[in-house]
Amino acid sequence: MPYATVNGQQLYFEDSGGDGPVVVFSHGNLMDRRMWAPQVEAVRGEFRCVVWDERLHGLSKDDGELYTYWESADDLLGLLDHLGVSRATLVGHSQGGFLSLRAALRAPERVRALVLVDTAAVAWPPAAVAQMGGVSEAFRAGGPDMVAPVLLDLLLGKPAIHEEWLRSWREQPRTRLADAVAVLMSVDDVSGRLGEITAPALIVHGERDEPVPLAFGQMLRDQLPGALDLLVVPGAGHTPNLTHPEATNGPLTTFLRHHA
């Protein structure tokens, strides 16, 4: 299995290889690298696609400690070092977008372009933090089946794929799932620094996203100097690339061809 030793962690990744421009896909909270399968399938012939499992997720072998999204951004940059890649386009969903924004702030010279899917640049309001705290404790006390009926609908909203992701949660220790949500709760506000990120950016957002409402995507469009478009996916919730790939793959491919 391909692992990169980065910042004391063993990060699992998959690399399609090839000579095309490099695109790194970073997944959302409680998801893993597999959420990008529709996009990798769509663009892998033209681009070298890298997917990876962030700390406390998937097959990565981390130290089990809580971390910040700045540290996760450093993990991403370290993965690029491991791969011998100087510049890449970063595609991130939700927390994957959080860490991609921070990587662009940390090392702008290494980010060719950004695609931010249902992402925000602000800290959570108190009500959202309280809700996530309840989810974290439910994972810790009762495991995935205690939270699945509500959380899967909130994150995905497509019953046909709910069971697949519930199985992936059942494969993880309860504490790991709970801690992953705890990391999400502590995201800091970087909205005041968005003007520093000048890379071309495509913003993608589900029309009906409840965890990260559309207004946060509109903020990214308005405040990122390089934002070229806001693609609102009709009828989609928090994870439009997975639930509505037919609406997202075309604009993503066009953007990558022009900017990656």
Q: CATH no. for residue 249? A: 3.40.50.1820
**CA dist., res. 11 & res. 61, Å (int):** 6
The number of beta carbons lying within 10 Å of the beta carbon of residue 125 is 9
Residue 169 in any domain: the answer is no
Q: Which amino acid is at 217?
A: G
Residue 161 confidence (pLDDT): 96
Q: On the CB side of 91, how many CA atoms lie within 13 Å of its CA?
A: 27
Number of domains in the chain: 1
Distance CA 136, CA 130 (A): 10
Contact 238, 204 (CB under 8 A): no
pLDDT of residue 168: 97
* In a domain? residue 233: yes
Q: What is the per-residue pLDDT for 197?
A: 98
DSSP-based three-state secondary structure for 156: coil
Please list, residue by residue across 105-123, b when 16 or more beta carbons sit within 10 angstroms of its beta carbon and e when fewer do. beeeebbbbbbbbbbbbee
Please give the pLDDT value at position 8.
97
> Does residue 33 form part of some domain?
yes
Please give the Cα distance from 241 to 48 (Å, whole number).
19
Confirm whether 153 is domain-assigned.
Answer: no
What is the reported pLDDT for 171? Answer: 96
Residue 162 in domain: no
* DSSP H helices in the chain: 37-43, 69-83, 95-106, 126-142, 144-155, 159-170, 174-185, 214-223, 240-243, 245-259
Gap between the Cα atoms of 85 and 106, Å rounded: 16
Strand partners, 115: 91, 202
| Domain span holding position 198 | 3-123+188-259
Domain contains 170: no
Whether 173 maps to a domain, the answer reads: no
Q: Is residue 94 part of a domain?
A: yes
Mean pLDDT by 10-residue block, N- to C-terminus, for the chain (260 residues)? Answer: 95 96 98 98 96 98 98 98 98 98 98 98 95 96 95 95 97 97 97 98 98 97 97 98 97 97
Name the strands in the sheet holding 227-233, side by side, starting at the edge strand that comes first in the sequence. Answer: 3-6, 9-15, 48-52, 22-26, 88-93, 111-117, 201-206, 227-233
